[in-house]
Amino acid sequence: MTVAHPLSLLTPEEVTTAKAVLDAAGEVPDGASIVHIILVEPTKDELAAWSPGDPVPRRVEALVVPGPALTMVKLIVSIDEERIVQREVIEGQRPTLLMGESFLVMVACTQHPDYIAALARRGITDLTHVQIDPWPAGSFGYAAEEGRRIARCISFLRMDETDNGYARPIEGVIVHADLGTGEVIEVIDHAPPGTDPIPLAPQGSRYDADHAGPLRTDLRPIHITQPEGVSFTVEDNLVRWQKWEMRMGWDPYEGLTLHQVHYTDTAPDGSERRRSILHRASISEMVVPYGDPGEVQGWKNAFDAGEWGLGRMTQSLTLGCDCLGEIHYTDVTMATEQGTPWVVPNAICMHEEDFGIGWKHVDLLTNRHEVRRSRRLVISHIATVGNYEYGFFWYFYLDGNIQLEVKLTGILSTQGVRVGESTPFSSPLAPGLVAPVHQHLFCARLDLDVDGTANRVEEVEAEVVPMGPEAPWGNAFRPKATVLAKESEAKRLTNPATSRSWRVVNPDKRNHVDRPVGYKLIPTMSTPTLLAHPESSVGQRAGFARHNLWVTPYAPDERRAAGEFPNQSAGGDGLPAWTAADRDLDGEDVVLWYSFGITHFPRPEDWPVMPTEYTGFLLAPFGFFERNPALDVPPSPPGPCHAPSGDDADGGGGCCST
Ligand code: CO
């Protein structure tokens, strides 16, 4: 039982071995839950020292919750030596919400007399199709919640098993439950006795094909064929595509992680250099804070990485539906809460996409045209976190660009109102149904190693030269680069008006025009920051989202932007705490943390299921290459150019070069 590389994906056998070691040591008492068993990634130094053929040391981290108390035990298990090599007891913090406990709490709700009574007031006496959603509780200083692991449950009514429950919120009923003991602490009915509760919305709204109304009949098939196969290879978790090379990793919280991203640079004379760009990239955290101030909705916020887990919530993908064309799927292994291997088949989807024009020019003197197709390698996974879907799509392009696109879809979190009423903090969707405003704020952790680890971060933006002797025509502007030398200087906001971006350069590696080689982080989409007040509960807990950019020097244990255990945390962990040291950045091994996302004012068109909305960013070479790296892409072979329609048709013959 050996793996090929220190970063090879965790295997089911390793999970089994780890569990056996934990059992033998008596670390998994009856009633304990195993929060995770994850690969301990080797540090950068360890990876640099490792060569093919060397032994592959493997260690995993197990996080065990022995019982209802706020005690967790973190154990590092050596798989090779089959022994525990490190043991740490963590007091006073909470793990992510556990599935088994959440289920028990849902059952406890349906059996509680106050819950049954609250639903009866709303005309619901048959609880068969009541849908109960446990939410992370946040931290609001309730005395009864001290020392406990809490979920707040909200409810919806389905008309039958497959109905869309979010169409009928059971408004005003919130259950505070203890996940550790499975007890209901309190059923809160926000409709005071003697008043009429907000009724269920009068109509349902389903999104499946049987309930969408007449379906279109004029969509003809699109087939994507690659008759000679794909242009990438996957060996273990090592991906090679064109000049790119990288390893795929997996984390229960971050989901897909990318490691050791390299590009083999071919100089015009044909010489090749394998060059480092990114050591590790992932989504380190995300938060969805809601903007309604009322007591029924105002507590709602969710850290979907730290409180749920973008890896844990990932679903298997289906050929032809989620992914089109020649697809390579990768299964991932995590651990169940009992410590058995939990394999998610087809969790990661990989394929190539034609991406339109890569570059083109028509010489108007000779009427010669040169055009090349753009193509990208797509590595993706999709997490279903409660009502929402989040797709994380990493793109690698022929021209050296790296892009992350996050696709948001799924179902809005809804609120019931009286028919005809609305609130300033929500959008009406249907009679008696609104959706509160909210944000989806992601934080990508980007450990760039641009031609090595000693890097520098510069903020680059347009500087207008005042009209005067230097700019007599008043037209002058130039790029201004400011070195972000300390952590305190590197807490930055985007500025579209000045085209602000951040360039990571290697000051010791100069290019052919004597500039340091670099890669640039470009905000390409909307970049809201956290709107909640800094002193608010979520404002304290989601400090990472108050700036678009943070930069830290590499530290292996600084992984998650809101800290390791955001669930019910008081806040301040993660980036705000680490950067308080105000460490030096210039010439260091820098890690960029980029917060981006969407402020969502829901639309009627987002209902009953939301058309995919997009956010993300771009990493583009800036003086990393000597010239357009896609110059060597050959012209496409003459295709059947279907005249007169077809966007790339040129009437036959060689399409792409004359
Ligand atoms: Co939304």
User: For the CA atoms of 206, 209, 211, 215, what is the dihedral angle to 10 degrees?
Assistant: 130
CA of residue 390 to ligand 1 center, whole Å:
10
Distinct helix (H) and strand (E) counts, the chain: 6, 30
pLDDT class of 523 with cuts at 50, 70, 90: very high
pLDDT at 655 over 70: no
Question: pLDDT digit string (tens) for 342-366?
Answer: 999 999 999 999 999 999 999 999 9
For residues 326-350, average pLDDT: 97
CA of residue 610 to ligand 1 center, whole Å:
9
Specify whether 466 is located in the same domain as 381.
yes
Question: pLDDT digit string (tens) for 461-506?
Answer: 999 999 999 999 999 999 999 999 999 999 999 999 999 999 999 9
Q: Which of 133, 189, 292, 304 is catalytic?
A: 304
pLDDT at 645 over 60: no
Specify whether 78 is located in the same domain as 129.
no
Specify whether 170 is located in the same domain as 263.
no
Residue 630: what pLDDT?
A: 96
Specify whether 54 is located in the same domain as 125.
no
Domain count for the chain: 3
pLDDT at 232 over 50: yes
pLDDT class of 656 with cuts at 50, 70, 90: low
Q: What per-residue string of b and e applies to 107-118 under the rule 16 or more CB within 10 Å gives b?
A: ebbeebeebeeb
Q: In the beta sheet, which residues pair with residue 615?
A: 406
Specify whether 570 is located in the same domain as 527.
yes
Q: What per-residue string of b and e applies to 375-386 under the rule 16 or more CB within 10 Å gives b?
A: bbbbbbbbbebb
CA of residue 23 to ligand 1 center, whole Å:
42
Q: Specify whether 388 is catalytic.
A: yes
Q: Which of 166, 290, 388, 519 is catalytic?
A: 388
Residues with CB under 5 A from ligand 1 (ion): 600
CA of residue 81 to ligand 1 center, whole Å:
47
User: For the ranges 97-101, 316-320, 532-536, which has the lowest average pLDDT?
Assistant: 316-320
User: For the ranges 269-273, 342-346, 613-617, 649-653, which has the lowest average pLDDT?
Assistant: 649-653
Specify whether 425 is located in the same domain as 340.
yes
Better pLDDT: 210 or 322 = 210
The arrangement of strands across the sheet holding 71-78 comes to 33-39, 59-65, 71-78, 83-91
CA of residue 584 to ligand 1 center, whole Å:
37
pLDDT at 1 over 80: no
Q: In the beta sheet, which residues pair with residue 461?
A: 480
The amino acid at residue 385 is: V
pLDDT class of 4 with cuts at 50, 70, 90: very high
CA of residue 535 to ligand 1 center, whole Å:
24
Specify whether 173 is located in the same domain as 278.
no
Would you say 58 and 80 are in contact if contact means Cβ atoms under 8 Å apart? yes
Is the dihedral angle over the CA atoms 164, 166, 172, 175 positive or is it negative?
A: positive
**What distance in Å separates the CA atoms of residue 417 and residue 432, rounded to the nearest whole number?**
5
In a domain, 20, yes or no: yes
Give all strands (DSSP E) within 525-638, no chain letters: 549-553, 590-600, 610-621
Q: Where are the alpha helices (DSSP H) in 197-312?
A: none
Would you say 265 and 400 are in contact if contact means Cβ atoms under 8 Å apart? no
Specify whether 540 is located in the same domain as 579.
yes
Residues spanned by the domain of 134: 99-189
In a domain, 208, yes or no: no
CA of residue 181 to ligand 1 center, whole Å:
32
Would you say 488 and 437 are in contact if contact means Cβ atoms under 8 Å apart? no
For residues 141-150, average pLDDT: 94
For residues 229-250, average pLDDT: 97
For residues 84-108, average pLDDT: 97
User: For the ranges 116-120, 293-297, 336-340, 372-376, which has the lowest average pLDDT?
Assistant: 293-297
The CATH number assigned to the domain holding 25 equals: 3.10.450.40
Specify whether 86 is located in the same domain as 144.
no
Specify whether 61 is located in the same domain as 105.
no
- The pair of three-digit structure tokens given for residue 431, joined into one six-digit string: 């009679």
Residue 269: what pLDDT?
A: 86
Residue 640: what pLDDT?
A: 60
Specify whether 35 is located in the same domain as 158.
no
pLDDT at 238 over 90: yes
Q: What percent of the chain has pLDDT over 90?
A: 93
pTM for the predicted model, two decimal places: 0.96
- Cα dist from 519 to 362, 447, 504, whole Å: 30, 12, 5
Q: Residue 37, class by beta-carbon neighbours within 10 Å (0-12 exposed, 13-18 middle, 19+ buried)?
A: buried
Return all residues near 636 (Cβ < 8 A) that are at least 6 apart: 372, 373, 655, 656
CA of residue 440 to ligand 1 center, whole Å:
6
Specify whether 591 is located in the same domain as 543.
yes
CA of residue 175 to ligand 1 center, whole Å:
23
The DSSP output letter for 531 is -
pLDDT at 657 over 90: no
111 three-class SS = helix
Residue 646: what pLDDT?
A: 45
